[in-house]
Amino acid sequence: MAYNVAEKVPLFMEPFAVAVISRRDGLLRRLTERGEGFAFAAPELVPEAVIAVVDRESAGSGLLSRYLCRVVLDEQARCDERETGDLVVRPEMFEEDPRAYLLACRDMARSRQLVAQLLGELEFSQHVQELIAVANFEGVAEKITRTILHILDATSGTLLLHDPRIERYAVAFSNDANHRDDGEFVPGISADSLEEALSSESGFAEGSDEDRPHLLIPIQSGADLLGVVKICGRKTSGFELDREKKAVRYVESVAAVLGNLYQLTRSNELAMRDDLTKAYNRRFFESYLEEEIERSRRYGSFFSIIFLDLDDLKSVNNTHGHLVGSRTLQEVAKRILSAIRTIDKLVRFGGDEFCIILPQTDQDQARSVAMRVRKAMTDYAFRLEPDITVVITASFGIATFPVHATTKEDLIRQADAAMYRVKSTTKDSIGLAEIISPAGRQVQGPA
């Protein structure tokens, strides 16, 4: 049954309630001063709270199990005793910017609550509940694979999941003695077979290896490919269609759980990064840009942002498939990172659009950075497969605080507009935002 999730799941009321269970002097007052958008109180005053801030010595209490996410204040930031939903952080780091941690907790709590609310409507709800109870990620991967094997009446299979640490897919569980890690982006699975599975209306693709029939089922969460299951059948027969359809429904049912568990088991750093490219994500961008503006105002310094949008990535997807398109995005991110400083931040703003945040950088210096990035992208073609070479360029837009804008929204708008002026004319070039004149009029910046 299809439905609009937004209509089924009530939105959280704002301000977001947070229970504070701590003996630290003045903590409640300091959080109230710095945690805009959140309401802090003792637990008995906010029974609706799903987030708690607790001291390490209180973290093991069974009374805290009702909270979906807990910020555990620990002087040593020990993570060996953390439970699912815990974010362990040193008190001084948390108090320096509590809102950044609490925004991550709010997203985590929303995800966990959404999963819980969907359980009753899933065909495999009992199994989903069992998955949630499994204590480790490896155990979940094995349970999912063995359930699919049971549905298909097969004996061997492999579950591969995207691993952002190595920037490719890796085996999460396998009982297939014939599976080999061939070093490819998705080990043991050809790009053509995976592309067929991704584009199939049935949700799977059939093939064979050395006379052994196999079934490929992608695991997707929205537009993201979390992983793929490869199930091998007996040599004498393939799979029954009804069993194949049931296996696909099962994968669709557990994808949300797997996706949320995948995120919840990563560190706070990975929670702020895009899984595909390892660049920072929009959540990080929104909070960090506000911090950078405040820092520049305080010290009277410049900082710049560069928006870049890849030219004609759609043609890469159309010609070579979305898997090659994804690998192109990864290679672009790596080349950008090689051309910027360690203090600069690379953000995947959305789709094929990136943003580079450049602290203590004026517009001329930002233009030099953009030229380095452009050169890194175009110096040599992207060799993504032995027989696939891709040439990709980008359109750049630069805006500097406070030369081109004095607010976050205007800075983003100016850089975005400069980028689209380039994209709608020459492409593969660098544009500068319009300068704010003393009279308040905007003057076209140099190209």
CA distance 214 to 234: 9
Q: Looking at the structure, do residues 316 and 381 belong to the same domain, yes or no?
A: yes
414 lies in some domain = yes
**CATH code of the domain in which 146 resides:** 3.30.450.40
Residue percentage of the chain with pLDDT more than 90: 35
Domain closes at, from 51, 85, 119:
119
Burial 360-377 (b: 16+ CB within 10 A, else e): ebebeebbebbeebbebb
**CATH code of the domain in which 322 resides:** 3.30.70.270
Domain closes at, from 237, 264, 291:
264
182 lies in some domain = yes
160 lies in some domain = yes
| Strand (E) or helix (H) holding 20 | strand 16-21
The range of the structural domain enclosing residue 9 comes to 5-119
Q: Looking at the structure, do residues 245 and 383 belong to the same domain, yes or no?
A: no
Q: Looking at the structure, do residues 196 and 307 belong to the same domain, yes or no?
A: no
Q: Looking at the structure, do residues 431 and 290 belong to the same domain, yes or no?
A: yes
Total of domains in the chain? 3
CA distance 278 to 313: 19
Under 8 Å CB-to-CB from 431, ≥6 apart: which residues?
A: 395, 396, 397, 398, 418, 419, 421, 422, 445, 447
CA distance 135 to 84: 8
DSSP assignment, residue 280?
B
64 lies in some domain = yes
Q: Looking at the structure, do residues 153 and 254 belong to the same domain, yes or no?
A: yes
Structural Rg of the chain based on CA atoms:
25
124 lies in some domain = no
**Backbone angles phi and psi of 51, in degrees to 5:** -120, 140
Domain closes at, from 208, 229, 264:
264
pLDDT at position 3 is: 27
Q: How do residues 226-278 score in pLDDT, each as one tens digit?
A: 889 999 886 556 788 888 988 998 898 888 777 776 666 555 556 788 888 88
Q: Looking at the structure, do residues 31 and 90 belong to the same domain, yes or no?
A: yes
DSSP assignment, residue 15?
S
Q: How do residues 72-102 score in pLDDT, each as one tens digit?
A: 999 888 877 778 788 899 999 999 999 999 9
Higher confidence at residue 321 or residue 447? Answer: 321
Min mean pLDDT across 82-86, 115-119, 284-288, 431-435 is at 115-119
Q: Looking at the structure, do residues 136 and 254 belong to the same domain, yes or no?
A: yes
- SS3 call for 35: coil
CA distance 339 to 91: 35
pLDDT at position 354 is: 97
Q: Looking at the structure, do residues 178 and 149 belong to the same domain, yes or no?
A: yes
- Most confidently modeled of 70-79, 97-106, 218-227, 418-427? 418-427
Q: How do residues 296-338 score in pLDDT, each as one tens digit?
A: 998 899 999 999 999 988 888 888 888 888 899 999 999 999 8
Q: Looking at the structure, do residues 32 and 168 belong to the same domain, yes or no?
A: no
pLDDT at position 11 is: 40
Q: Looking at the structure, do residues 378 and 342 belong to the same domain, yes or no?
A: yes
Q: Which amino acid is at 114?
A: L
Q: How far apart are the first and last CA of the chain?
A: 52
Which among 166, 143, 134 is positioned nearest to 264, based on CA atoms?
134
- For 174-203, what is the mean pLDDT? 85
Q: Looking at the structure, do residues 295 and 439 belong to the same domain, yes or no?
A: yes
418 lies in some domain = yes
CA distance 136 to 134: 6
Q: How do residues 139-184 score in pLDDT, each as one tens digit?
A: 888 889 999 999 999 989 999 988 765 567 888 899 998 888 777 7
pLDDT at position 94 is: 92
Q: Looking at the structure, do residues 76 and 135 belong to the same domain, yes or no?
A: no
User: What number of other Cβ atoms are within 10 A of residue 300's Cβ?
Assistant: 7
